[in-house]
Each structure stands twice: as structure tokens, then as C-alpha cells.
Amino acid sequence: MKFSEMYAQSYPILSVELFPPKTEKGWGNLYRRLSHLKGLPLQFVSVTYGAGGSIRDRTLELTQKVRESIGVTSVPHFTLIGAGKEQIRKFLHESIAQGAENIVALRGDIPKNTLDFPIPSDGFQHANELVAFIRNETDALDIGVAGYPEGHTECRDLVTDMENLKRKVDAGATIVITQLFYDNTDFFRFRERAVKTGVTVPIVAGIMPIVKFSQIKRITSMCGASIPKHLYDTLTKYDMDSAEQRMAGIEYAINQARNLLENDVVGLHIYSLNKWRTVTKLLEGVQDLIEQEN
């Protein structure tokens, strides 16, 4: 189902992000556990586009597997870094041939070693150009783009960052999915600023339960999301990456999700890090609110 139909039907829309593993062992584990997602009330699963090398080619392998084994709408991500028009076209048409009706269109992070990513002369600089290219190329795909409640790391001026988000929507994006955040106030302010700027498409809240705090510290420092002091203090009461810390992290995510749902969020996109139990626990923790809405 296309994003435009999905978000026009009922709220909240629940979705999960998966990533293609780096090792064959990881793929084996992923495929064995994929069926766990089957019983969950998910409207779509999205699959990230790897930072480089052979992983990139495996996004469509995983979207296809998700479609076959869970039977849910499956959405590939694509990043423009290092891609020329022909490569983009190829990815779009392979996605469509496979059954994709949506895509998440991104610039990608600028790699430290640019030798791995030569910039093609017919490539793009920013995601709004990729969105425009996709729109021009096909009507078969609805388009999700990234939004940053705390601002993108390269653009700490929130007004400019929002104008740049609007460029993506004006170019044809159907929904905005936010970067992860741990303070809902950041999301609510972002949503307000978006509406004031004229961003009228659905804004989906991206949340990442803290299962392994050491890993989340790394991720947040890279993507520019902050960890509020009260959450930091709670988590550091426990040993790093202990079961108790994980439970506190999941409890925080449940409360965060409940508060978002109580404040009319149109959808929750769960950055799962391929951890089923966390997704299941989180969804169990908000089940009563979802049933009320539907």
C-alpha cells in the first residue's frame, strides 16, 4: 500500500526499520527471526540502504524477503551519495518490479573516506533533488524523507533546516519520518514549526528504544540526537548494557511512545536495530492506546 493511502486511512500507523546485516551469520539470524514480526500490528517495514560496498545491494533482497515472509508493505531506503542518475534509475525500477510502492529518499551521511564514494558528474547534492528526480521518473512510488526534530548535524540553524525540509516536501515527498529523539518536546516543537512553515504532509515520529546504552551513545553522538539528563541519570544507575539498564530503556521508550500517541502522532516508526523482542515489548506497552484509536 502507498504511504498516501496508508496515512489517509487511520492513525496511528506503526512501522519498523530493519537493516541488512553485514555478515552471513547476521543474515541467518535475521531470516530465522523475521516471522516474529508477522503477528505484530505493523503497517510497513522499511529497510535501510547501507553506508557502502556490497551491503548496498542487499537492501532489495531484504525488502523482498519481508514482503514474502511477513506479507506487509516493505519499503526500501535509498541514499544519493555516490550515485549517478543511471544507478538511481536502476534502483527505482528494480524496486518497482519487485513490488515496492514507496521509497525513503535520503542524501546519506558524507563518508569520511570519499575514495569509496566518487561523486558522479550527474549525481545530486541534496535529498530534495533526489525527490524531484524520483517524482519525474515515476508515479509508482510514494516518497518518505528525513526530518530532524533537533536539527540536522550540518545545519544547527533550525529555521534553515526546516526550509530545507520544505524543499523536499515541495519536490514531492509524501511523508516525513523523523530522526530518533528522546525528548518528546523536541518532536512537538518540530511538528509545530513544520506546520507553520507549510509542511502539511504526515510527520511520523522515529523512536529508538535504548536496548544497549553503549551503542545508543555512539549513534546519538553521530546523528546529533540528545539524551535528556533525567534519562541519562536513570540509565547510568545501572551497569553498562546490563539487563536492568535494558529494561529501564524499554520502559522509557514505552512511556515516550504513549505520550506521543496521546498527543496525536500520526505514526511511530521504530528503529529496531533488528531486535524483535524490543519491538514486541514496545508494541505491547502501547497496545491499549492503539486499540482505542482504531
Looking at 17, 154, 244, 284, which residue is catalytic? Answer: 17
CB of 28 to ligand FAD, least distance (A): 22
Q: How many helices (H) and strands (E) does the chain have?
A: 11, 8
Measured from the CB atom, the residue of 7 and 246 that comes closer to ligand FAD is 7
Q: Is 218 a residue that touches ligand FAD (CB under 6 A)?
A: no
| Contact mark string toward ligand FAD, 107..136, x via CB under 6 A | xxx----------------xxx--------
Cα(229)–Cα(143) distance, rounded to whole angstroms?
35
User: Which 57-76 positions form the footprint of ligand FAD (CB under 6 A)?
Assistant: none
Q: CA-CA-CA-CA torsion for 158, 252, 18, 267, nearest 10 degrees?
A: -60
CB closer to ligand FAD out of 3 and 246 = 3
**DSSP character string of 273-284:** TT-HHHHHHHHH
Is position 267 an interface residue for ligand FAD (rule: CB under 6 A)?
A: no
**Which three cell numbers mark 201?**
504532509
DSSP sequence for 117-173: S---TT--SSHHHHHHHHHHH-SS-EEEEEE-TT--TT---HHHHHHHHHHHHHTT-
User: Is position 17 annotated as part of the catalytic site?
Assistant: yes
Instruction: State which residue, 58 or 168, has the beta carbon closest to ligand FAD.
Output: 168
* Helical (H) or strand (E) element with 20: none
The residue from 16, 72, 83, 104 that contacts ligand FAD (CB under 6 A) is 104
Strands (E), 140-266: 142-147, 175-178, 203-207
| Phi, then psi, of 143 in degrees rounded to 5 | -125, 125
Interface positions, 144-203, toward ligand FAD (CB under 6 A) = 146, 152, 154-155, 161, 164, 167-168, 177, 179
Q: Which residues bind ligand FAD (CB under 6 A)?
A: 48-49, 51, 77, 79, 104, 106-109, 126-128, 146, 152, 154-155, 161, 164, 167-168, 177, 179, 206
* Residues recognised as catalytic: 17
